[in-house]
Each structure stands twice: as structure tokens, then as C-alpha cells.
């Protein structure tokens, strides 16, 4: 049979079911968030690591304009290099009947496969053949691209390469470590994934298509473990220098890996952030509630001690209450966590090309959080129960000594109390004299209000980003990039299209910016000074024109280099045109793009850097609405055009993605509200049970039920005011902490909170107060004054 103490525990849970469920729900939410995020990121990390191992993801990447295949043996001969691979890669436009411009990255793959670096794994269909029958060219594409366009094995796509149209046959789908997340470059992160794909094909075929027989433009290196990577990379750079060294970067900066890592960081930030708040609140709730329960059951504890129960059994009884709530929460939270992790995995499968992402979920997360929750929850319970257990049983048999009260500070403020009505005076006094109770309610409201701010701010920040990007930076409808930089007049074929209103050339120039021995690869975005179609945004949010002299340095580059306004930086061009050129430029200011990173110069400055005149790499223009479609159609047929970015489509794509954001905002808000209710419900039931006698006495003295509940209401309102005043900045701080947590090199997220969000949060707090008051008013109505006063707790 169950021991009586255990039965007492169950009865206590039963009689305080509301509070019990409230704290279990809060715990469950925290555990769920932790398990979901951690299981997901564990899963992602394992899948990624094993995939990288299996496919030999390179340690370092070098891009050159053109090098002979033979360079491979020279690179492999460098001490510290374990293995190397050479590849050719080129982005080309797909010619299709859809009105959307699609780019495909052709990735040469040496066949037969002699254990290359960055091997690809065939996911469906079969490997492309080196010499297929009938002179066809076979490719494997990434799964997302195939799915987006409904491609199946045997389908063909046409591309434009070297001014010719070429047909490629799809033999299946593949995954490779460098396109787990397939995106053209950091600047294109916002574009619809269906507009960019990766095609793997035999290297010999690609060389032939590009008219580059025997040439490669990428060198992949795996270092010997423990090698001096910086030194070895320098040596390889020297070897590659004559072939037009464009850029080199470590594995961690490879775009697909960087995005994947950013996602993992975000998951980790989430996994730390949310559960900590929720578990913290749960512990606090348990602590306060059990502390109060022990106070109320002082007499019972005394009896049990008199009967012969020791401290350990009694601590176990009250600790057991906390343990039960923690267990219930942990079990429910873990179950839900794995359920959501399963759903999230499916979501990730849509974006990440990892062959084994659906692998079984691992249970490290559950173990971790289960242990923590139970230990922390129980300790809180035991700690809360400690006070009364320390007194002797005889002392526990007597009612607690009345607490000594003194006039609080607020009552000493001259003139304040006289100006307030009796009920306000009583509320104010009660709030200040019961500091612990007030502090708990305020803390609860602070967290609840703060949580609403945190829930909604992501939306504000996203709106702000979009506004900066689409209203301030981009004042054009289309951005068209051409395959190779051309003279401005060569873009007339585009600016003369019917329906184009204003057009301006742009030049995007990949550069390496040096300052005091440090450097960072960046892109210079150039437009004419005084252009009506584009603006630069300063770090502080001001709109600026493109500078006549010098450059506006991207804030992130500036931070890495340690360069600021007025400094002279060295700009080295790494465009594959002619030899790299170095020039000094003065930093005219610090800018911050909404998305991605780029520094800004005038078109003239950019041309001067290249020692050219009137060169552009693309064009931006405004159109008359009714011509948009025909313009896009016309652009689709231009072979020299590499990409067309439509502001309208990008906005639409972002808005589509915002739906995911709204889901997560919705979920977060739901849980915040839940949390708020749990906290406020808990605080108000506690406060009521603590004040039963006091309120009953007021009723006996002649106060009406309405007057008594209005006392509670006024006190609650005062507490809300304090909670909101503290909760709003708390929410703001948390939002900033969150923004820092999820920011990566590729994507910096700035916390923006609109005033409406603050207003909504305060309203939310008011709602909680209203509900708590409703509960209290109901209880006051039910109060039997005489019974309550007679009862000996």
C-alpha cells in the first residue's frame, strides 16, 4: 500500500491542482523548447559532421580566374597539404519558358572519382556519365532545385554558356558538402531558392561547354592535421597568384557552411534563451508557492514532527510536490519537444540538402533537461520548505508570531497619504508592507510583459529591415546583372526596353579591403552620386547619397578591420579582369545595409579602382507597372544577363517567409500569454490565500464584497504599473540579447521594437491583471467571513 505521506502528497496536489498545473505547464514549455531546439541542432550537427566526413569537405578554398589542371600537383607538393582537388565552376543562366530568371551553378566533377575532396553523394537516380551515348551532357541537380521545378530523371534543361545554348540531361539528384544550402552568394540569401540551383557534371564536359579545356578555377585543400594553416595557405596563394587569385577562405566561411552554422547558432541561442526564462520562472513559482504552503501547513508539520517524522521525510514531502510538478512538466515537455523536433526536421529538410537529416532523434537533449529540471525544481521546493522545518515541533504548534510592521517609506512622503482616498491608501500600504508578495507579483508581471515584447519584436525588426531595404536603399523595380562587366552604353538594350522609366548603371566590385595588416573580402556597390534610384544607409539609420570621394565602409567590415571614418584603407580589386589593382580610399562614413554586407562608392570611384571608364556590371531601373511582365520576359531572353532581381518578387518572397515568422511569433505569443496567466494566477491565488483573514475581517467590519475586491484591484493596478515599467526595458534588453545571439557574419539582426509592441505588451499585462482580479473577486464573493475567522488555518 502507498505510504500515507505519499497519499498526503497526492491530496495536496489535488487540492492545489490549479497551481500545480500552472507550474507544470511552465516547466513543460521550457523543457519542450529546449528539447525541440537541442534535438534539432544535435541532429543537424551529427548529420552535417558525418556528411562532411563522408564526402571529405575541404579545409580551404581558393578561387582563381583560370589555372591549368597541372597546378594540382604543385599545390599537393606544398608541405602541410594532405590532399587537394581542382575543379571548374561557373554560374550560368537557365533558359526556360517560365518568366522567372533562374541561375544554375555548374560544378565540374573529376571522373573517375579518385577520392576527391567535396565528393558528391547521389541521392536519387544515377551518377552522370563521363562520355554518355549520343553526345548528351548529363547532370545531377540538388534536390531542392529539382523539387521546386518538378524535374525528374531524364528531363532536360537549357542553359546559356559562352553565348550558346546547351541542353543538359538530368540523371538524378545529389548532395555535396559545399551546397548543403544552395545559394549563390551572401547577397542572394533573400532570393527564392527555386531561382538558383546546383548542377554537378563531369569536369571534362563542363570544360568543353565553357571552352576551357584543361582549365580549372577552384582549388580545394585538406591540410595535414596540426599544419600551420595560415602559412600553408599563404604559400598556396603565392603559387596561384599568376592565375588571377580571386579569393580564398576557410571551410567556416564557405557560404553553405556559414549559413548552416548560422542556423545552428540560432537554434542554440533559442535552446539556451527560452528554456532558461521558463525554467527560471517555474522555479520561482514553485519556490514561492511551496514556501507559502509550508507556512499554511505549519501546524500539520508540527503534528507530523510530534508524531515522530523527521526533517528528511518532511522535506521529501514538500520537495516531492516540487518533484512531481517538475516530473509532470518534464515528461510532457520532452514528449512535445520530440514531436516538434520531428516537425522541425521536416521543415529543415525543405531547406537543407543533407542526406540523413531524418535519422532518429537523439536523446541527449532529453537526458540533459530532464536531469536539470528535476534537480533544480526539487531543490527549489526543498529550499522553499526549509524555513519551517528548522523550527522545533513545539514551536510549530503555536501560530506564527505576528510579523512586525513599520510604516513603509512611501507613507513617510509628506502629504502623499492625505491626498489619497482610503482604499488607495490601503492598497498602497498593503503593497509596500508585503514586500515579498508584491515583489513576486511584480516579477511575474515583469516577465510576462517582457515575454510579450520578445515575442513580437522579431516582427518589428523584420518590418524595419524591409522598410530600410525596400524603401530607403532600393528605389528601383529591377536589378539586372550581366555576366561580365560591360560599358554603360552596352546596357542601352535594357534601358531602352519599352516601359523603363529611369535607369542607372551599377557596378558590383568584389574587393579585398586592407587596413593595418588586417583584411576582409567585401563587395563595393557603386552607383552615380546623386542617383535617384539608390541610397546608402548610415550606421545610425540616416539616408546618404553615394559619396563623391572615398567610400562608405560597411560597419561589419569596419569592425573587423578596426577602421573608422577618416581612416585610409587599401582597396584591392579581385574581379577576374586583368591584374588586381590596389588603391587607397578614405573612409567617408560607416554604412549598414539591411541585408548582407557591402561597402559603397560612387561609380566613378569604382571605375577609377579598375583603371577603367564607364564600366558597369548591371543596371537598376523603374518601370511602368503595366510593362513589368513584358520587361521580365524580354530580359529572360537576353543571354548576357546573369540575374534579374525584381523588387516585387523579393518582397513577395520575403512576405512568404514572413509567414514562418508569424507562426513562430504566434507560438511565442501563445506561450508568453500562457506563462503570464500561469504566473498571475499563481500570484493571485497565493495573495488571496495569504489574505483570507484580513479580507474576511474587512467584510465583518462592514466593507461590501465589491469594496473589498476593489481594494485588490487597486493594488493589482499599482503592481501592474511597476511590472510594466520594469518589463518593457527588460523585454527590450532580452530582444537585444536575442538579436546578438542569432546574428552571424552573413546576417546581422538588429533589435527594433515599435511603440505599438510596447503598448500591446502593457495591454497584455493589463489583461493578466484583469483575469487575476476576476479570480480574486470571485473568491471574495465566496468568502464566508465568520467561518474564515474561526478557522485555525
Partner 1 sequence: MQEKGPTWRLDRVFKTYDMGEVKVEALRESSLSIPEGELVVILGPSGSGKSTLLNLLGGMDVPSGGDVWFRDENLSAASDRQLTLYRRNVVGFVFQFFNLIPDLTARENVDIAAELVDSPFPTEDVLDGVGMSDRIDHFPSQMSGGEQQRVAIARALVKNPLLLLCDEPTGSLDASTGRLILAQLEEINRKFGTTVVIVTHNASIADMARRVVRMSSGRIVEETYNEEPLPPERISW
Q: Which single residue is written with the C-alpha cell 502629504?
A: 415
Near partner 1 by CB under 8 A: residue from 136, 397, 486, 538 = 397
| Comparison of 2 and 230: residue with beta carbon closer to partner 1 | 2
Contact call for residue 542 and partner 1 (CB under 8 A) = no
- The H or E element containing residue 758 is helix 755-782
Question: Between 364-389 and 298-307, two packed helices, what is the crossing angle to 10 degrees?
Answer: 80
Near partner 1 by CB under 8 A: residue from 280, 335, 342, 393 = 393
Burial class (CB in 10 A: 0-12, 13-18, 19+), 544: middle
Contact call for residue 405 and partner 1 (CB under 8 A) = no
Contact call for residue 8 and partner 1 (CB under 8 A) = yes
| Comparison of 540 and 787: residue with beta carbon closer to partner 1 | 787
CB of 384 to partner 1, least distance (A): 19
| Comparison of 397 and 705: residue with beta carbon closer to partner 1 | 397
The interface region with partner 1, picked from 335-343, 356-364, 394-402, 745-753 by CB under 8 A, is 394-402
| Comparison of 314 and 536: residue with beta carbon closer to partner 1 | 314
Give me the half-sphere count of Cα atoms (radius 13 Å) on the Cβ side of residue 211. 6
Contact call for residue 756 and partner 1 (CB under 8 A) = no
| Comparison of 208 and 311: residue with beta carbon closer to partner 1 | 311
Contact call for residue 298 and partner 1 (CB under 8 A) = no
Near partner 1 by CB under 8 A: residue from 97, 115, 404, 496 = 404
CB of 320 to partner 1, least distance (A): 14
Say how far apart CA 64 and CA 247 lie, in whole Å: 7
Closest CA to 735 of 445, 443, 448, 461: 461
Q: Give the alpha-carbon dihedral of 578, 582, 583, 585, to 10 degrees.
A: 110
| Comparison of 299 and 499: residue with beta carbon closer to partner 1 | 299
The interface region with partner 1, picked from 8-16, 561-569, 676-684, 709-717 by CB under 8 A, is 8-16
Q: Are 217 and 85 in contact (CB under 8 A)?
A: no
Say how far apart CA 525 and CA 483 lie, in whole Å: 16
Contact call for residue 407 and partner 1 (CB under 8 A) = no
| Comparison of 27 and 396: residue with beta carbon closer to partner 1 | 396
Contact call for residue 310 and partner 1 (CB under 8 A) = yes
Q: Give the alpha-carbon dihedral of 454, 459, 463, 466, to 10 degrees.
A: 110
Contact call for residue 300 and partner 1 (CB under 8 A) = yes
Near partner 1 by CB under 8 A: residue from 309, 383, 653, 662 = 309
Q: List, as one string, the DSSP characters of 224-275.
A: PTT--HHHHHHHHHHHHGGGTEEEEEEGGGSHHHHHHHHHHHHHHHHHHHHH
What does the block give as the cell for 590? Answer: 560607416
The shares of helix, strand and coil residues in the chain, as percent rounded to the nearest 5, are: 55, 20, 25
Say how far apart CA 229 and CA 645 lie, in whole Å: 38
Near partner 1 by CB under 8 A: residue from 111, 136, 148, 303 = 303
Prior bond of 112 cis (ω within 30°)? yes
Near partner 1 by CB under 8 A: residue from 167, 311, 611, 704 = 311
One symbol per residue from 12 to 31: x for binding partner 1 (CB under 8 A), - otherwise; what is it?
x--x----------------
Q: Report phi then psi at 90, rounded to 5.
A: -155, 135
Say how far apart CA 786 and CA 726 lie, in whole Å: 40
Near partner 1 by CB under 8 A: residue from 97, 401, 412, 496 = 401
Contact call for residue 308 and partner 1 (CB under 8 A) = yes
CB of 783 to partner 1, least distance (A): 18
CB of 23 to partner 1, least distance (A): 19
Near partner 1 by CB under 8 A: residue from 60, 305, 437, 649 = 305
Contact call for residue 299 and partner 1 (CB under 8 A) = yes
Tally of CB atoms within 10 A around 355: 18
CB of 702 to partner 1, least distance (A): 29
Contact call for residue 787 and partner 1 (CB under 8 A) = no
Near partner 1 by CB under 8 A: residue from 247, 306, 375, 439 = 306
Contact call for residue 692 and partner 1 (CB under 8 A) = no
Q: Report phi then psi at 316, rounded to 5.
A: -65, -35
Q: Are 143 and 194 in contact (CB under 8 A)?
A: no
Say how far apart CA 360 and CA 232 lie, in whole Å: 40
The interface region with partner 1, picked from 307-315, 587-595, 632-640, 650-658 by CB under 8 A, is 307-315
Contact call for residue 11 and partner 1 (CB under 8 A) = yes
| Comparison of 306 and 667: residue with beta carbon closer to partner 1 | 306
| Comparison of 11 and 126: residue with beta carbon closer to partner 1 | 11
Contact call for residue 392 and partner 1 (CB under 8 A) = yes
For residue 191, what is the DSSP state?
S
| Comparison of 5 and 349: residue with beta carbon closer to partner 1 | 5
What does the block give as the cell for 184? Answer: 549563390
Kind of pairing between the strands at 582-591 and 518-527: unpaired
- The H or E element containing residue 484 is strand 478-487
Distances (CA, A) of 395 to 3, 182, 390, 399, 734: 26, 72, 10, 8, 45
CB of 298 to partner 1, least distance (A): 11
Kind of pairing between the strands at 81-87 and 543-544: unpaired
Counting residues that bind partner 1 (by CB under 8 A) gives 28
Residues 6+ away with beta carbon under 8 Å from 460: 752, 753, 754, 757
Contact call for residue 394 and partner 1 (CB under 8 A) = yes
Say how far apart CA 688 and CA 675 lie, in whole Å: 20
Near partner 1 by CB under 8 A: residue from 230, 307, 422, 701 = 307
The interface region with partner 1, picked from 396-404, 534-542, 545-553, 669-677 by CB under 8 A, is 396-404
CB of 312 to partner 1, least distance (A): 9
Contact call for residue 304 and partner 1 (CB under 8 A) = yes
Tally of CB atoms within 10 A around 194: 15
CB of 432 to partner 1, least distance (A): 21
Contact call for residue 232 and partner 1 (CB under 8 A) = no
Kind of pairing between the strands at 215-223 and 81-87: antiparallel
The interface region with partner 1, picked from 214-222, 280-288, 299-307, 499-507 by CB under 8 A, is 299-307
| Comparison of 68 and 310: residue with beta carbon closer to partner 1 | 310
One symbol per residue from 335 to 374: x for binding partner 1 (CB under 8 A), - otherwise; what is it?
----------------------------------------
Question: What is the contact surface with partner 1 in residues (CB under 8 A)?
Answer: 3-5, 7-8, 11-12, 15, 299-300, 302-311, 392-395, 397, 401, 404, 792
Amino acid at each position: 500500500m502507498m505510504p500515507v505521506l505519499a497519499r498526503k502528497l497526492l491530496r495536496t496536489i489535488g487540492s492545489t491542482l490549479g497551481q500545480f498545473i500552472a507550474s507544470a505547464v511552465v516547466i513543460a514549455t521550457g523543457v519542450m523548447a529546449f528539447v525541440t531546439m537541442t534535438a534539432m541542432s544535435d541532429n543537424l550537427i551529427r548529420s552535417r559532421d558525418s556528411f562532411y566526413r563522408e564526402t571529405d569537405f575541404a579545409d580551404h578554398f581558393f578561387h582563381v580566374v583560370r589555372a591549368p589542371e597541372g597546378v594540382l600537383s604543385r599545390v599537393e607538393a606544398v608541405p602541410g597539404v594532405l590532399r587537394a582537388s581542382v575543379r571548374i565552376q561557373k554560374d550560368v543562366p537557365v533558359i526556360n519558358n517560365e518568366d522567372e530568371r533562374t541561375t544554375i551553378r555548374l560544378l565540374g566533377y573529376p571522373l573517375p572519382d579518385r577520392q576527391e575532396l567535396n565528393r558528391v553523394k547521389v541521392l536519387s537516380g544515377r551518377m552522370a556519365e563521363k562520355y554518355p551515348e549520343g553526345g548528351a551532357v548529363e547532370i545531377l541537380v540538388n534536390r531542392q532545385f529539382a523539387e521546386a521545378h518538378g524535374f525528374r530523371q531524364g528531363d532536360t534543361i537549357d542553359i546559356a554558356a559562352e553565348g550558346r545554348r546547351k541542353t543538359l540531361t538530368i540523371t538524378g539528384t545529389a548532395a555535396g558538402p559545399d551546397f548543403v544550402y544552395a545559394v549563390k552568394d551572401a547577397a542572394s540569401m533573400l532570393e527564392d531558392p527555386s531561382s538558383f540551383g546546383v548542377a554537378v557534371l563531369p569536369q571534362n564536359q563542363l570544360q568543353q561547354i565553357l571552352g576551357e579545356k584543361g582549365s580549372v578555377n577552384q582549388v580545394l585543400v585538406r591540410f595535414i592535421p596540426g599544419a600551420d594553416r595560415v602559412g600553408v595557405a599563404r604559400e598556396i596563394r603565392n603559387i596561384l597568384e599568376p592565375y588571377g587569385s580571386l579569393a580564398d577562405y576557410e571551410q567556416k566561411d564557405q557560404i553553405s557552411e556559414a549559413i548552416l552554422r548560422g542556423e545552428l547558432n540560432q537554434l542554440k541561442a533559442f535552446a539556451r534563451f527560452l528554456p532558461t526564462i521558463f525554467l527560471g520562472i517555474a522555479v520561482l513559482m514553485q519556490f514561492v508557492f511551496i514556501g507559502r504552503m509550508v507556512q499554511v501547513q505549519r501546524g500539520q508539520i508540527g503534528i507530523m514532527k510530534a508524531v515522530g517524522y523527521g526533517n528528511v521525510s518532511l522535506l521529501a514531502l514538500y520537495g516531492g510536490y516540487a518533484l512531481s510538478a517538475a516530473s509532470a512538466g518534464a515528461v510532457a515537455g520532452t514528449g512535445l519537444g520530440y514531436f516538434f523536433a520531428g516537425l522541425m526536421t521536416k521543415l529543415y529538410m525543405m531547406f537543407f540538402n543533407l542526406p540523413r537529416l531524418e535519422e532518429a532523434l537523439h536523446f541527449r537533449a532529453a537526458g540533459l533537461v530532464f536531469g536539470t529540471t528535476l534537480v533544480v525544481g526539487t531543490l527549489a521546493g526543498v529550499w522553499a520548505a526549509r524555513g519551517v522545518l528548522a523550527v522545533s515541533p513545539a514551536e510549530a504548534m503555536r501560530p506564527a508570531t505576528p510579523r512586525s510592521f513599520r510604516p513603509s517609506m512611501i507613507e513617510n512622503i509628506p502629504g502623499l497619504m492625505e491626498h489619497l482616498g482610503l482604499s488607495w491608501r490601503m492598497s498602497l500600504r498593503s503593497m509596500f508592507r508585503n514586500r515579498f508578495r508584491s515583489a513576486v507579483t511584480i516579477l511575474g508581471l515583469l516577465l510576462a510583459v517582457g515575454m510579450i515584447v520578445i515575442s513580437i519584436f522579431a516582427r518589428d525588426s523584420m518590418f524595419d529591415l524591409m522598410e530600410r531595404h525596400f524603401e530607403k536603399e532600393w528605389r528601383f523595380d529591377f536589378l539586372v546583372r550581366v555576366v561580365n562587366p560591360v560599358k554603360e552604353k552596352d546596357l542601352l538594350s535594357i534601358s531602352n526596353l519599352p516601359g523603363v522609366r529611369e535607369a542607372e548603371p551599377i557596378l558590383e566590385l568584389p574587393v579585398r579591403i586592407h587596413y593595418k595588416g588586417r583584411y576582409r573580402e567585401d563587395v563595393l556597390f557603386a552607383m552615380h552620386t546623386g542617383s535617384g534610384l539608390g541610397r546608402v544607409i548610415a550606421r545610425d539609420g540616416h539616408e546618404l547619397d553615394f559619396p563623391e570621394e572615398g567610400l562608405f565602409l560597411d560597419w561589419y567590415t569596419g569592425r573587423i578591420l578596426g577602421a573608422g571614418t577618416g581612416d585610409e584603407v587599401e582597396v584591392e580589386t579581385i574581379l577576374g579582369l586583368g591584374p588586381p589593382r590596389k588603391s587607397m580610399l578614405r573612409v567617408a562614413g560607416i554604412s549598414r545595409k539591411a541585408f548582407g554586407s557591402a561597402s559603397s562608392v560612387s561609380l566613378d570611384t569604382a571605375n577609377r579602382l579598375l583603371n577603367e571608364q564607364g564600366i558597369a556590371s548591371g543596371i537598376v531601373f523603374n518601370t511602368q507597372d503595366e510593362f513589368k511582365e513584358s520587361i521580365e520576359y524580354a530580359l529572360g531572353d537576353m543571354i548576357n544577363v546573369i540575374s534579374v532581381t525584381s523588387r516585387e518578387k523579393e518582397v513577395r518572397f520575403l512576405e512568404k517567409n514572413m509567414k514562418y515568422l508569424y507562426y513562430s511569433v504566434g507560438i511565442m505569443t501563445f506561450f508568453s500569454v500562457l506563462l503570464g496567466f500561469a504566473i498571475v494566477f499563481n500570484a493571485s491565488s497565493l495573495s488571496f490565500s495569504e489574505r483570507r483573514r484580513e479580507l474576511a475581517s474587512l467584510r465583518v467590519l462592514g466593507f461590501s464584497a465589491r469594496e473589498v475586491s476593489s481594494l485588490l484591484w487597486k493594488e493589482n493596478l499599482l503592481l501592474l504599473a511597476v511590472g510594466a515599467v520594469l518589463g518593457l526595458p527588460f523585454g527590450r534588453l532580452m530582444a537585444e540579447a536575442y538579436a546578438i545571439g542569432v546574428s552571424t557574419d552573413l546576417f546581422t539582426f538588429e533589435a527594433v521594437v515599435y511603440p505599438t509592441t510596447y503598448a500591446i505588451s502593457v495591454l497584455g499585462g493589463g489583461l493578466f491583471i484583469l483575469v487575476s482580479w476576476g479570480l480574486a473577486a470571485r473568491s471574495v464573493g465566496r468568502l464566508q467571513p465568520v467561518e474564515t475567522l474561526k478557522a485555525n488555518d
